[in-house]
């Protein structure tokens, strides 16, 4: 029996001002070690679903449903609740669930070195880490994401690195706390094709539990075990990657 990591049950997200129902009764499970692809057209609600899991949905929305992460409820409201009043548990986001965002340049701080940003991601949850320990961890994490010269790389600023390198840094930031779940929102869309292939290989090699958002069916075939497809805020299909590609 596989361990369930995440269970989303009847998740709904609405924008009361416009009466727009962006996410409609979404339910799915995610098990340890698997990569679940979330696919669908632009505007179908993929990112809002991901943000709801992270407790980062827009403040002008209202939310209802259950989101269970291991044994912690991230959301447990059958009635619609203004998102600004939602209480999201501490020490989950960034530690147990991390996000690999779409745009590697805007997600990094241009004024901070790679070392400053990577170490900050770790220090938030591990305040009493010695400098030596921290340096060692940053270097070994950069090695894990395939950075060839990590001692040089940690001194660099984001603009000194290529798009592919920057995405590797964001992946390093997403794994440095050894999370149970990684949410990747179109992690390769901003990269050119050859770099995309390399980053996909890297993500696969990490063998993590992942919710992988993409609109690229080639990427789905490459990385996913199962696929759910959204359309206009609803799940319209859920299948193994084999059945999905076959159809």
Ligand X SMILES: Nc1ncnc2c1ncn2[C@@H]1O[C@H](COP(=O)(O)OP(=O)(O)OP(=O)(O)O)[C@@H](O)[C@H]1O
Using CB under 6 A, list all residues that contact ligand X: 15, 20, 22, 40, 42-48, 58, 60, 215
Q: Residue 230 has which token pair? A: 């959204």
**234 binds, options Mg ion, ligand X, none, Cβ within 5 to 8 A by partner type:** none
Closest to ligand X by CB, 40 vs 94, is 40
**19 binds, options ligand X, Mg ion, none, Cβ within 5 to 8 A by partner type:** none
> Measured from the CB of residue 23, what is the shortest distance to ligand X in angstroms?
7
> Measured from the CB of residue 236, what is the shortest distance to Mg ion in angstroms?
17
> Measured from the CB of residue 186, what is the shortest distance to ligand X in angstroms?
7
> Measured from the CB of residue 46, what is the shortest distance to Mg ion in angstroms?
5
Rg, Å, the chain Cα set: 18
Integer Cα distance of 52 and 56 in angstroms: 6
Distance of CA 176 to the CA centre of its chain: 14
Q: 163 and 100 in contact (C-beta within 8 Å)?
A: no
> Measured from the CB of residue 146, what is the shortest distance to ligand X in angstroms?
27
Closest to ligand X by CB, 38 vs 114, is 38
Closest to Mg ion by CB, 97 vs 183, is 183
Closest to ligand X by CB, 45 vs 94, is 45
Distances (CA, A) of 220 to 41, 43, 195: 14, 19, 16
* Strand pairing class (35-40; 226-231): parallel
**70 binds, options ligand X, Mg ion, none, Cβ within 5 to 8 A by partner type:** none
Closest to ligand X by CB, 161 vs 230, is 230
**48 binds, options Mg ion, ligand X, none, Cβ within 5 to 8 A by partner type:** ligand X
Question: What ranges in 28-146 are assigned the alpha helix state H?
Answer: 46-54, 114-123, 131-144
* Strand pairing class (20-31; 72-82): unpaired
Integer Cα distance of 99 and 136 in angstroms: 23
DSSP SS3 for 32: coil
Q: 206 and 175 in contact (C-beta within 8 Å)?
A: yes
> Measured from the CB of residue 238, what is the shortest distance to ligand X in angstroms?
16
**98 binds, options Mg ion, ligand X, none, Cβ within 5 to 8 A by partner type:** none
Q: 44 and 235 in contact (C-beta within 8 Å)?
A: no
Chain residues binding Mg ion by CB under 5 A are 47
Closest to ligand X by CB, 17 vs 79, is 17
């Amino acid at each position: 029996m596989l361990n369930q990591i995440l269970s989303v049950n009847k998740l709904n997200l609405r924008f009361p001002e416009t009466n727009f129902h962006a996410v409609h009764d979404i339910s799915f499970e995610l098990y340890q070690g698997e990569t679940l692809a979330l696919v669908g057209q632009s505007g179908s609600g993929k990112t809002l679903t991901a943000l709801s899991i992270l407790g980062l949905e827009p403040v002008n929305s209202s939310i209802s449903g259950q989101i269970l992460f291991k044994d912690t409820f991230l959301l447990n409201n059958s009635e619609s609740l203004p998102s600004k009043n939602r209480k999201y548990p501490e020490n989950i986001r960034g530690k147990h669930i991390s996000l690999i965002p779409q745009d590697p340049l805007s997600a990094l701080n241009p004024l901070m070195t790679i070392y400053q940003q990577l170490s900050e991601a770790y220090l938030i949850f591990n305040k009493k880490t010695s400098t030596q320990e921290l340096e060692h961890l940053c270097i070994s994490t950069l090695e894990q994401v395939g950075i060839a010269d990590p001692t040089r790389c940690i001194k660099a600023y984001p603009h000194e690195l290529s798009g592919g390198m920057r995405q590797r840094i964001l992946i390093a930031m997403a794994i440095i706390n050894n999370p149970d779940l990684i949410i990747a929102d179109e992690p390769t869309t901003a990269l050119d094709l050859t770099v995309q292939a390399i980053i996909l290989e890297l993500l696969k090699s990490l063998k993590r539990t992942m919710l992988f958002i993409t609109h690229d069916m080639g990427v789905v075939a490459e990385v996913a075990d199962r696929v759910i497809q959204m359309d206009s805020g609803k799940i319209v299909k859920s299948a193994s990657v084999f059945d999905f590609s076959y159809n």
